[in-house]
Structure formats: structure tokens, C-alpha cells
DNA sequence: AGATTACTTTCTAAAGC
DNA sequence: GCTTTAAAAAGTAATCT
């Protein structure tokens, strides 16, 4: 009877200790990178499920918490690029990505496919662009999807290029670098996507 | 003109990984001394690395007499490489049998479905599929029979890995093509715009 | 702006840490 | 789990001219 009590106490303690650790780590990530509160709550729920299915065994709390947050942000339609997330964690990109794949496979969760449109508002917000520019950018992405130009491409790069083209069409233009930095990709990627989209969608950019 | 439609999938073997049991223990230190081209850093990796040229095949040779050969594009090159390696070892102080047991462990093949693929739709309709364009441009598809993993790209190009035989590769590629075709996610350029490829009439 | 090189993903065995 | 080897796909990235 004593052994039973000890076992139960030990299990509860380790589960709770791990969960509290994860909650603290998620709280730290929220304040350092400005993640919306609902994402943290969703991440906690994902982490709880991971703990119940014993997916955290042999893995660091940091890596699993980061993976849960990455997944939560995508589920709530406010994605953060994995490469941005890992700048705030001590866990390696490799391990966070591995945890994410584990969560994808083992939990019965549906994570919506990464959509360039979701990155448009982030870029527009950072660069303080108008609603008209955003509207045009979204239209460009939708046409690109129909034309089959988005398969395999980084959604952040596609969004950056679409917003770049949209702002060129609306007059006030900024450098490709501004869009690249806002989207977290290189200028080369913005340029490549821009050329591809402009040519395939036959978009004429006004020269000024 | 008759063969213009439904070209079907094609593939090519790119790499064969095989294990070889030489059956005798080897003195890697001695081998490394006599073979200056060999790489041997036991602190980094327990195997001695030998690279053959024409064809370019690499071998990892272990103290236990077991060996891993990589880089062969066909079984003939693999067999020849094993013979060359055995001779090389025997010419440098080892005494291994001339015809050791060779086991193919993994075959990597590249290929094409000869049709573009709607990866987003494919990811939704296939089980055991993962498509994360933020991390990798290809859709990762785990096929259970034969047990292989196929990387599928928007262009229709594919990579099949994990197969133990050339037949597995051929079967996997054809099965993948048939499955994607029935899901309606394969597209060919012509025929009045991006239209689902027409099913081929079987007699 | 290119060109080059290099890294991402998948697989597999080997022996040892 | 990691270390090493080979190979392809297509995208992104860093570095050099």
C-alpha cells in the first residue's frame, strides 16, 4: 500500500513538474517574442496532450514547448516562422523540428497547410501598409495558387514578393530589402519570387 | 502521336547502400598506414573510409570485418567494387575471402511522374503524408507496401528511398502514380489549361 | 545581379559513445 | 540519440566576383 502511494505521488510530481516547467518556458517565449495569449493557451493544451502520450520522454522541455507553440500559432492562423521561433529558444532547430513532426504524427491534430496569405498581414503590419495594398497582395497570391506557382515555395517568401508587387502597383514603393527583413527571408528570395510572379501572372510594374 | 498522352512514371537508380560481411577481424590501424588514401579517425568514427574512383563508390570498413558500401548505381558496379575492395585489403596485409556475402540495405532512386502535382491537395488526401513548404519543398509520403518513403515535388519529380530491391522501387513508383492519378492531383500542361490528367483506357 | 557552394528532407547499415 | 558515407529532388542562403 505504501509502494502504491509512492508510485502515484512520484508520477504526479514528475508530470506536474514538467508541465509547470513548460508553462514557464511558454510564458517566457510569449513575452520575449510577443505571441498572442490564445496561442500560448493552445500550446499548453498541445503540451498537455504530448505529456499524456509520453512524447516528452528523452526530449528537452524547451524543444517540445517551442514545437507546441509553433504548432499552436499555425492552428490559430497566426503563424511564426520556425527560424524566428528558434532564435528565442536554446533548443536547436533540428530538435524543435523533430518534436514538431512527432506532435504532427502522434497527436490527432489537423494543422492547416502553411498559407502565404497569413504572412501578408504580418509583413503589412510591420511596414504599415494600407488595406488596399494588402487586398492586392492577397489577390496576387490567390492567382499564383491557381496558376500552380506556390507548390514547394516558402510561404513567407511568396508573401513578401506579393506585398512588394502590390506596393509597387499602389505607388509608394520601398526596397526589396524592407520586405525581405519583414518576412524573414533574403532579398534574393524576394527577387526570385517577384520575377516569377510578375512574369507568370503578367503583371506590369509602372516605372517611375 | 498515340504515345503522347499519359507518359506514366519513369525512374532511375541513383544510389545503392549495401553491407558486406568479410568474416574476419581487421587491423584498421595497419590498413590505414598502408593505404594513405584511407581516412581513419577512430575518435570521430569507428570505421575506416575508402573511396574508389571509376565508379565512385565509398566503403566504410570496420574492425569486425563488416563493411558498408555506398554510391553504386547498379548491382554490377557494386559487385565489382566489392571485389576490388577485397583485393585491395588482401594486398595490404588482410586475409579476407574472395566472395563475401553482400546485402543490399537501401536503394535511392530519382524519377518523374511526368505530370505536375498539386501538393496541397495531395497532402490533404493522402494518409501518411507530410507537406511543410516552410521546411522542405517536397511532400514526404510514407508508403506501407512496399515500405518506402517518397519525396514528391510540385514539378512531378520524385525521390524514392528505403527500398531493398529494384523491384520495390518500380512497384512503389507505379503505385504512387496510380494513387495520385485516382486522387486527381496530377496535372499535365496541355488540353486547355490545367486540367486533371485523363485516365488512360485499359483494354 | 549571377555564380558557387552548401545546407534543408528522406533512407540504410556499420561500432561505439 | 550522435558520429560517417552516398544520392536525388527544389528551395533557401551565404559568400564571392
Provide, in whole angstroms, the distance separating residue A56's CA from nucleotide C10's C1': 24
User: Which positions ≥6 away from B120 have C-beta within 8 Å?
Assistant: A113, A151, B131
Q: Is residue B202 part of a domain?
A: no
Q: Is residue B68 part of a domain?
A: yes
Answer with the residue of higher pLDDT: A197 or A17.
A197
Q: Average pLDDT by consecutive 10-residue portion of chain B (203 residues)?
A: 70 98 96 95 97 95 98 97 96 94 98 98 97 97 98 98 98 98 92 47 35
Last-in-domain residue among B104, B136, B167: B104
Give yes or no for CB of B102 within 7 Å of strand C. Answer: no
Answer with the residue of higher pLDDT: B161 or A52.
B161
Q: What is the SS3 string spanning A124-191?
A: HHHHCCCHHHHHHHHHHHHHHHHCCCCCCCCHHHHHHHHHHHHHHHCCCCCCHHHHHHHHCCCHHHHH
Instruction: Give the per-residue pLDDT at B200.
Output: 45
Judged by CB atoms closer than 8 Å, whether chains meet at A155 and B138 is answered as: no
Q: Which residues touch strand D (CB under 7 A)?
A: A 94, 98, 151-154, 157-158, 184-186, 188-189, 192-193; B 14-15, 17, 39, 44-47, 49, 51, 56, 58, 60, 68, 70-71, 106, 108, 110, 136-138, 151, 153-155, 157, 159, 161
* Burial environment of residue B185 by CB neighbours within 10 A (0 to 12, 13 to 18, 19 or more): buried
Question: Hey, is the C-beta of A114 within 8 angstroms of any chain B C-beta?
Answer: yes
CATH code for the domain of B48? 3.30.310.10
Whether residue A2 has pLDDT greater than 90 = no
Q: Is residue B52 part of a domain?
A: yes
* B23 lies in the same domain as B72: yes
Q: If you measure CA to CA, which chain A residue comes closest to B133?
A: A152
Average pLDDT score over residue span A81-96: 93
Instruction: Give the per-residue pLDDT at B203.
Output: 28
* B28 lies in the same domain as B99: yes
- Nine cell digits for residue A125: 503590419
* Burial environment of residue A175 by CB neighbours within 10 A (0 to 12, 13 to 18, 19 or more): exposed
Question: Hey, is the C-beta of A113 within 8 angstroms of any chain B C-beta?
Answer: yes
- If we measure between CA atoms, which residue out of B119, B7, B179 comes closest to residue A149? B119
Question: Hey, is the C-beta of A116 within 8 angstroms of any chain B C-beta?
Answer: no
* B95 lies in the same domain as B40: yes
Q: Is residue B197 part of a domain?
A: no
The total of structural domains in chain B comes to 2
Whether residue A114 has pLDDT greater than 80 = yes
Whether residue A11 has pLDDT greater than 80 = no
Instruction: Give the per-residue pLDDT at A40.
Output: 96
Nearest Cβ partner of A152 from B119, B187, B194? B119
* Burial environment of residue A37 by CB neighbours within 10 A (0 to 12, 13 to 18, 19 or more): exposed
Letter string b/e over residues B6-17, b meaning 16 or more CB atoms within 10 A of that residue's CB:
bebbebebbebb
Instruction: Give the per-residue pLDDT at A102.
Output: 92
What is the rounded end-to-end Cα distance, in angstroms, of chain A? 84
pLDDT 10s digits, A128-181: 999 999 999 999 999 999 999 999 999 999 999 999 999 999 998 799 999 999
Q: How far apart are CA A71 and CA A78, in angstroms?
A: 10
Q: Is residue B159 part of a domain?
A: yes
Q: Is residue B195 part of a domain?
A: no
- Nine cell digits for residue A177: 530589402
Q: In sequence order, what DSSP letters do the residues of B138-201 get, joined into one string?
A: SEEEEEETTEEEEEE-TTSEEEEEEESSHHHHHHHHHHHHHHHHHHT-EEES-SSSSEEPPPPP
Q: How far apart are CA A4 and CA A7, in angstroms?
A: 5
Instruction: Give the per-residue pLDDT at B192.
Output: 46
Q: Is residue B99 part of a domain?
A: yes
Q: Is residue B4 part of a domain?
A: no
* B88 lies in the same domain as B121: no
Binning pLDDT at 50, 70 and 90, where does residue A76 land?
Answer: very high
- If we measure between CA atoms, which residue out of A62, A29, A53, A35 comes closest to residue A102? A53
Instruction: Give the per-residue pLDDT at B193.
Output: 42
Instruction: Give the per-residue pLDDT at A1.
Output: 55
Decide: B68 and B104 in contact? Cβ < 8 Å: no
What range defines the domain where residue B84 resides? Answer: 18-104
Residue tagged 520556425 (cell numbers): A82
Residue tagged 534574393 (cell numbers): A188
Decide: A164 and A179 in contact? Cβ < 8 Å: yes
Q: If you measure CA to CA, which chain B residue comes closest to A106?
A: B128
* B138 lies in the same domain as B89: no
Strand D nucleotides where any atom sits below 7 Å of a protein CB: 1-15
Residue tagged 497527436 (cell numbers): A107
Amino acid at each position: 500500500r505504501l509502494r502504491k502511494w509512492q508510485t502515484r505521488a512520484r508520477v504526479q510530481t514528475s508530470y506536474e513538474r514538467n508541465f509547470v516547467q513548460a508553462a514557464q518556458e511558454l510564458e517566457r517565449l510569449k513575452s520575449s517574442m510577443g505571441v498572442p495569449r490564445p496561442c500560448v493557451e493552445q500550446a499548453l493544451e498541445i503540451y498537455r496532450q504530448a505529456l499524456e502520450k509520453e512524447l516528452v520522454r528523452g526530449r528537452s522541455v524547451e524543444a517540445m514547448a517551442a514545437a507546441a507553440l509553433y504548432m499552436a500559432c499555425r492552428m490559430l492562423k497566426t503563424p511564426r516562422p520556425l527560424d524566428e521561433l528558434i532564435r528565442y529558444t536554446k533548443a536547436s532547430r533540428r530538435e524543435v523540428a523533430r518534436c514538431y513532426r512527432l506532435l504532427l504524427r502522434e497527436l490527432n491534430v489537423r494543422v492547416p497547410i502553411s498559407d502565404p496569405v497569413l504572412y501578408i498581414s504580418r509583413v503589412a503590419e510591420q511596414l504599415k501598409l494600407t488595406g488596399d495594398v494588402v487586398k492586392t497582395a492577397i489577390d496576387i497570391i490567390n492567382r499564383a495558387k491557381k496558376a500552380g506557382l506556390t507548390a514547394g515555395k516558402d510561404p513567407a517568401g511568396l508573401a513578401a514578393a506579393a506585398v512588394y508587387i502590390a506596393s509597387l502597383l499602389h505607388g509608394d514603393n520601398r526596397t526589396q530589402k524592407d520586405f525581405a527583413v519583414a518576412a524573414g527571408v533574403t532579398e534574393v528570395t524576394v527577387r526570385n519570387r517577384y520575377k516569377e510572379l510578375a512574369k507568370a501572372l503578367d503583371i506590369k510594374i509602372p516605372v517611375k | 502521336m498515340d504515345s503522347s498522352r499519359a507518359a506514366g512514371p519513369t525512374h532511375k537508380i541513383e544510389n545503392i547502400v549495401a553491407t558486406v560481411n568479410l568474416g574476419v577481424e581487421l587491423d584498421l590501424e595497419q590498413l590505414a598506414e598502408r593505404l594513405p588514401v584511407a581516412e581513419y579517425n577512430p575518435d570521430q568514427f569507428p570505421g575506416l573510409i575508402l573511396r574508389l574512383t571509376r565508379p565512385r563508390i565509398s566503403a566504410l570498413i570496420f574492425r569486425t570485418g563488416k563493411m558498408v558500401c555506398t554510391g553504386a548505381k547498379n548491382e554490377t558496379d557494386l559487385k565489382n567494387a566489392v571485389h576490388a575492395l577485397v583485393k585491395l585489403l588482401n594486398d595490404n596485409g588482410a586475409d579476407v575471402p574472395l566472395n563475401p556475402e553482400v546485402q543490399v540495405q537501401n536503394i535511392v532512386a530519382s524519377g518523374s511522374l511526368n505530370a505536375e502535382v498539386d501538393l496541397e491537395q495531395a497532402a490533404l488526401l493522402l494518409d501518411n503524408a507530410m507537406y511543410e513548404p516552410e521546411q522542405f519543398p517536397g511532400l514526404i509520403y510514407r508508403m506501407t507496401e512496399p515500405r518506402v518513403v517518397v519525396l514528391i515535388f510540385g514539378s512531378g519529380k520524385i525521390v524514392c528511398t528505403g527500398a531493398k530491391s529494384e523491384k520495390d522501387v518500380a512497384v512503389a513508383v507505379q503505385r504512387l502514380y496510380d494513387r495520385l492519378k485516382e486522387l486527381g492531383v496530377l496535372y499535365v500542361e496541355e488540353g486547355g489549361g490545367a486540367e486533371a490528367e485523363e485516365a488512360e483506357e485499359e483494354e
